[in-house]
Amino acid sequence: MLKPILTLSAFALIAACGSTVTRLNMPSVAPTASLRASVGSVMIRTVSLPTNAATEEIALETAPGVITSDGKLLSADDPARSVTLALTQGVGDILAVNAGPDPWPFAGLPDVAVDVRVSDMLGSAVTGNFRLAGQYFIGGDGIEYSDQTRSFSLTVPMATRDVPGAVAAQGLAVAQLAEDIARQLGR
């Protein structure tokens, strides 16, 4: 009876040792811009990401057009949530307004809502760059604010041509996008 318990314990110990998961957190990048807002509040809708960027496995372009992930390095947070919150904080800090994610956490309605649709969010070991591209839509409901559509295409050099380098560059790219959105809402 002791032998099966020891065997089971040893198997559990080996399984526990082999299940270490490493997660990487997209770094928070403090905005450098400070703008006067043309609105009092901004809601950032949950950011829409392409499949390769929406999963917890962090993908990297390893050859031209080849996107891979090894499952060893995972995102510390849900990627869409992480990008949404980083944009919310960045836009709010740059404009010094109430900014919140969807669902809107404050009473009443926000002055404008920003809907971001990302078509490309990927680091490349081939080029050594991180690319963030897509469109965002700004709309006001109940105030005099003309709807806007803007395309964005940002390229940030990666410090290293690997997954950690891509994650660090992603933080910079998202901060640049927050500044671009804030410029559309500033005076």
pLDDT of residue 89: 97
- 9 part of a folded domain: no
Domain count, the chain: 1
Q: What is the pLDDT of residue 45?
A: 96
Residue 114 belongs to a domain: yes
Q: What is the pTM of this model?
A: 0.87
Quote the pLDDT of residue 113. Answer: 95
**Residue 14 resides in a domain:** no
The pLDDT value recorded for residue 32 is: 87
Which of the listed ranges 1-15, 31-45, 86-100, 141-155 does the model predict with the highest average pLDDT?
A: 86-100
Is 90 exceeded by the pLDDT of residue 170? yes
Is residue 107 situated within a structural domain? Answer: yes
**Assigned domain for 174 exists:** yes
pLDDT tens for 111-139 read 999 999 999 999 999 999 999 999 999 99
Is 38 within a domain?
yes
List the end-to-end C-alpha distance of the chain, in Å, as a whole number: 77
What integer best gives the mean pLDDT of the chain?
Answer: 89
Instruction: Please report whether residue 47 resides in a domain.
Output: yes
The parent domain of residue 45 ranges over 23-185
Range name among 30-44, 55-69, 135-149, 167-181 with the lowest pLDDT average: 135-149
- Asked if the structure places residue 18 within a domain, the reply is no
State the DSSP code for 135. E
Q: What is the CATH number of the domain that holds 134?
A: 3.40.50.10610
Least confident of 18-27, 36-45, 115-124: 18-27
**Is the pLDDT at 16 greater than 70, yes or no?**
no
